[in-house]
Amino acid sequence: MKKYLLFIVALISATFILSFCSNVSTEEKVNDFRIKRGTNLSHWLSQSEERGEGRRQHIQEDDFERLEQLGFDFVRIPIDEVQFWDEDGNKLPEAWDLLTTALDWSVKHHLRAIVDLHIIRSHYFNAVNEGGGNANTLFTSEKAQQDLIDMWYQLSDALKGYSNDSVAYEFMNEPVADEHEQWNQLIAKVHKALREREPQRTLVIGSNRWQGYETMKYLKVPEGDKNIVLSFHYYNPMILTHYGAGWTPIGKYTGKVNYPGILVSKEDYEAAPDSLKPELEPYTKQEWNIVRIREDFKDAIAVAKKYDLQLFCGEWGVYEPVDRELAYKWTKDMLEVFDEFDIAWTTWCYDADFGFWDQQKNEFKDKGLIDILMSGEELEKN
């Protein structure tokens, strides 16, 4: 009898140990969500008034096939609240179908995907600029924060069937909180809520103030979670990347721009309208080159190293009217730094005004750009 009891105790102990080890293994498992070079499928399910047949035709399977053939390994898919829910919070079915179909095509064509909640009713990244003050309520309203969590509950219900190795969630794009700690507290709240639903899903988390590289050092990342990708955006120098972009103050400048080196000469500065000179002055003093880019990335690289997490530049690109020679020089420098520090990236964007593909004509509108983008390092295969 004693031997029998000892056997039962040993069996129970072994079962407990195996169960415990299994649980630890599951909790500590790092997803195979490896990414290197991608693009944003922008102005489709986000920042677009297109609906119905036009929206359905805008992105098709051949787009995913094209990206796979070119050598991209993932896409970022921005989505907006207004396309997925009406003002009463009811789901708008067509957008949900388009998103899941896009994810199915991603899987079919060996492209990982980041679903990025880009704009919500309580937070728009440009509200600060356009309204002359912060019109967002997200960081001051408990209800708005719960609404954000509820949106992700519904997205999780719809997307949780996709492999953790193939689909990731970016729960907020370009947060613009008055205080960095407001964003850190919201990160903790949304992270906790999502982890209760999906303990293993890869989450993409960016820094405050338009996902700026310079604010990465203030970011507080949930400890012990290795299924997080850290994200920042980079469009510097704006006078180059947004030359001619009428929605920005610097986009009104029509003089000459140089790169690399001093971007605006003294002569061009003096010839510019007085109203633009405050915007132009910094570009008459600072040299911009690969050294400057590398220096700007330093804090983001340090934060990723501190948390031992993958680093990702979710947006970068050059506006279409920019001189192509300058655009290509800047792009080459960006790629060199990305490759040097193993930073994944998605260009802004695929087919809109920063893109390389023309959906209307069904042809490349900037073949030179895509050739440069594909000249960098590709994702290493397992």
- pTM score, whole prediction: 0.91
Amino acid 361: pLDDT: 93
Task: Give which of 227, 246, 207, 196 is closest to 29, Cα–Cα.
Answer: 227
Beta bridge partners of 364: 357
Whole-number mean pLDDT of the chain?
92
Tokens, residue 287:
């040299």
**Residue 7 binned pLDDT confidence (cut-offs 50, 70, 90):** very low
CB neighbourhood size of 362 (10 A)? 9
Q: Using the predicted structure, report yes or no on whether residue 23 has a pLDDT greater than 70.
A: no
Amino acid 259: pLDDT: 97
Q: CA 359 to CA 367: how far, in whole Å?
A: 14
**Residue 20 binned pLDDT confidence (cut-offs 50, 70, 90):** very low
Amino acid 135: pLDDT: 77
Tokens, residue 242:
């947004």
**Half-sphere exposure of residue 169: CA atoms within 13 angstroms, side-chain side:** 27
Mean pLDDT of 320-343: 97
Mean pLDDT of 206-216: 96
Task: Give which of 367, 370, 369 is closest to 329, Cα–Cα.
Answer: 369
Amino acid 376: pLDDT: 87
Tokens, residue 218:
């203030």
Q: Using the predicted structure, report yes or no on whether residue 122 has a pLDDT greater than 70.
A: yes
Burial of 59 (0-12, 13-18, 19+ CB in 10 A): buried
pLDDT digits (tens, 9 = 90+) for 249-294: 999 999 999 999 999 999 999 999 999 999 999 999 989 999 999 9
DSSP helix/strand/coil, 258: coil
Mean pLDDT of 332-340: 98
Amino acid 134: pLDDT: 57
Helix (H) / strand (E) containing 270 = helix 266-271
Q: Using the predicted structure, report yes or no on whether residue 19 has a pLDDT greater than 60.
A: no
Amino acid 133: pLDDT: 53
Q: CA 348 to CA 39: how far, in whole Å?
A: 6
**What is the full DSSP assignment across 114-160?**
EEEEEEBTTB-TTHHHHHSS----TTT-HHHHHHHHHHHHHHHHHHT
**What is the full DSSP assignment across 191-223?**
HHHHHHH-TT--EEEE-HHHHBGGGGGG--PPT
Amino acid 126: pLDDT: 86
User: What is the amino acid identity at position 133?
Assistant: G
pLDDT digits (tens, 9 = 90+) for 42-67: 999 999 999 999 999 999 999 999 99
Contact (CB, 8 A) for 74 and 33: no
User: What is the amino acid identity at position 7?
Assistant: F
User: What is the amino acid identity at position 191?
Assistant: H
